[in-house]
Amino acid sequence: MILDVLGASGGELQGHRTTSFLVDGVLAVDAGALTASLPLEALLRIDDVVLTHSHLDHVKDVPLLADLLVGNRERPLRVHASRGCVATLRESLFNGRLWPDFTRIPGPDRPILELHPFETSTPFEVGRYRIEPVPVSHTVETVGLVVSDGRAAFAVSGDTGPTAAFWERVNGTHGLGALLVETSFPNALQWLADVSGHLTPRTLEQELRKLPRRTAPVWLYHLKPAHQAALERELHSLGLDGVKILSAGDRLQL
């Protein structure tokens, strides 16, 4: 399994793209950097997008991608999201006011986009991949994900503050090749991380103690670009073994 990092930041700034990972060229996990990162030919190969939650930096390229696909592809793009996330997409995004309703374009019986809701604790299949969502602690309904193709697996935390069920699931995953964990704010903004459901280097260190059998490398993402330098200094000072920061353009082979 090849995991391409299209975006790994917690905000958009020159040189920083928001969260989006591409699995084997066909499955996207979050959609913060699809259209800015890939040519049309590569975008046309993506069959499915799995979303961790409804916040703009994770979904913003779903409508932009739908717009590009019209007239260029017959089969619909399938977007998989929790029921709460699907409801937000329908009510607040694909509502004909903020953006056209591509779930009914070019026609209700042949849309360019399909929204597929999933339960937040029930595994499901997407092509050859098994997706296991796990509820995490954020300000809207949000899941972490364990993604496997039967031979390799990786886990992504989604946006979260301190949580429990996700770490329990990671501890129970054999053959995990990579663990992607959000870390958003420096320690000086702990109050903001707490109220917004995010981690700081301080709480990251505490959360990683919940992994007594940690064997997979830990890759950090969602660093807020306005605080990147402070975050890098604080993370370096912790001296955490096997923990690195992801950047757009990175490729992980699992």
Q: Tell me: the pLDDT tens digits for 134-165? A: 999 999 999 999 999 999 999 999 999 999 99
Band (91; pLDDT cuts 50, 70, 90): very high
Residue 68 has pLDDT above 90, yes or no: yes
**Global pTM?**
0.97
pLDDT score recorded for residue 181: 98
Q: Token pair of 239, please?
A: 């001296």
pLDDT score recorded for residue 182: 98
Mean pLDDT score, 14-43:
98
CB 63 within 8 A of CB 113: no
Domain ranges in the chain are: 2-253
Sheet with 218-221, strands from edge to edge, namely 124-126, 129-135, 143-148, 153-156, 176-182, 218-221, 243-245
Question: Tokens 């329908």 correspond to what residue?
Answer: 90
Query: 3-state class of 51 per DSSP?
Result: coil
Superfamily of domain 2-253: Ribonuclease Z/Hydroxyacylglutathione hydrolase-like (3.60.15.10)
β-partners of residue 178 are 154
43 sits in which H/E element: helix 40-43
Distances (CA, A) of 140 to 54, 122, 128, 160, 204: 7, 18, 29, 10, 20
Mean pLDDT score, 19-31:
98
Band (174; pLDDT cuts 50, 70, 90): confident
Mean pLDDT score, 113-141:
98
CB 59 within 8 A of CB 20: no
What gap in Å lies between CA 143 and CA 48, rounded to an integer? 17
pLDDT score recorded for residue 249: 97
Radius of gyration of the chain (CA): 17
Q: What is the pLDDT of residues 200-232, one digit of tens each?
A: 999 999 999 999 878 899 999 999 999 999 999
